[in-house]
């Protein structure tokens, strides 16, 4: 009886091993999200948004700036509470403009993502109307599609300057 039990157990193990081997496929299935994703096109979209952001700031257009953000966006910068939502971002960037900042230069250091979200790392320089640099720093922006268009979803900037005293 033990011999029969051992043979039955061996057959079950062999059957399971055969099932596993036969169900394995050496060729991985393509991930539809990543296989059709075009990083070059995404970079062009990000470059276009950067130009639009720069132009809106130069034209002192806080509403135009705000429209580049998703409705549920978040703007975060050093020493300030996070600004949540497009309407609040419009107000915050309006204050930025009233402070006198109207110039910006962005340099992308890296871009990663897929067809749902992108992350851009870069450096930024902000200047006033006279061209005087008022801040240099680094940023991370997460882009998300809203109504089929890439928009800023999370925008975080840190100045390279000395942080204010606590």
Residue 116 lies in a domain: yes
Residue 63 maps to a domain: yes
Helix or strand run (H / E) with residue 87: helix 86-98
> Which residue range forms the structural domain that includes residue 70?
38-159
Regarding beta strands 149-159 and 69-77, do their DSSP bridges make them parallel or antiparallel, or are they unpaired?
Answer: parallel
Q: What average pLDDT values come out for the chain (166 residues) when binned by 10 residues? A: 48 42 43 70 96 98 98 92 96 96 97 96 96 96 96 96 60
> Is 139 inside any structural domain?
yes
Q: Provide the pLDDT for residue 23.
A: 41
Residue 33 inside a domain? The answer is: no
**pTM for this prediction:** 0.76
Total tally of structural domains belonging to the chain = 1
Judge whether 110 and 123 are in contact, CB under 8 Å.
no
Q: Is residue 93 part of a domain?
A: yes
Largest CA distance in the chain: 96
Residue 1 is predicted with a pLDDT of 52
CATH number at residue 73: 3.10.450.50
The answer as to whether 155 is a domain residue is: yes
- Asked, for residue 26, whether it belongs to a domain, the answer is no
pLDDT, residue 166, reads 53
Q: Beta strand 69-77 with 117-128: parallel, antiparallel or unpaired? A: unpaired
Residue 24 within any structural domain of the chain: no
Taking the C-alpha atoms of residue 132 and residue 118, their distance in angstroms, rounded to an integer, is 31
pLDDT at 36: 84
pLDDT at 79: 81
């Amino acid at each position: 009886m033990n011999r029969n039990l051992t043979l039955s157990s061996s057959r079950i193990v062999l059957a399971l091993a055969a099932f596993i081997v036969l169900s394995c496929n050496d060729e991985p299935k393509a991930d539809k999200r990543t296989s059709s994703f075009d990083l070059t096109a995404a970079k062009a979209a990000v470059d276009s948004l950067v130009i639009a952001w720069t132009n809106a700031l130069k034209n002192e257009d806080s509403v135009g700036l705000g429209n580049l953000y998703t409705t549920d966006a978040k703007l975060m910068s050093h020493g300030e509470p996070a600004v949540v939502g497009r309407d609040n971002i419009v107000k915050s960037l309006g204050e930025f403009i009233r402070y006198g900042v109207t110039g910006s230069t962005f340099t992308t250091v890296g871009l990663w993502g897929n067809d749902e979200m992108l992350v851009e790392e870069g450096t930024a320089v902000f200047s006033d109307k006279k061209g005087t640099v008022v801040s240099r720093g680094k940023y991370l922006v997460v882009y998300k599609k809203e109504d089929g268009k890439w928009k800023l979803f999370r925008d975080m900037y840190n100045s390279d300057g000395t942080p204010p005293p606590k």
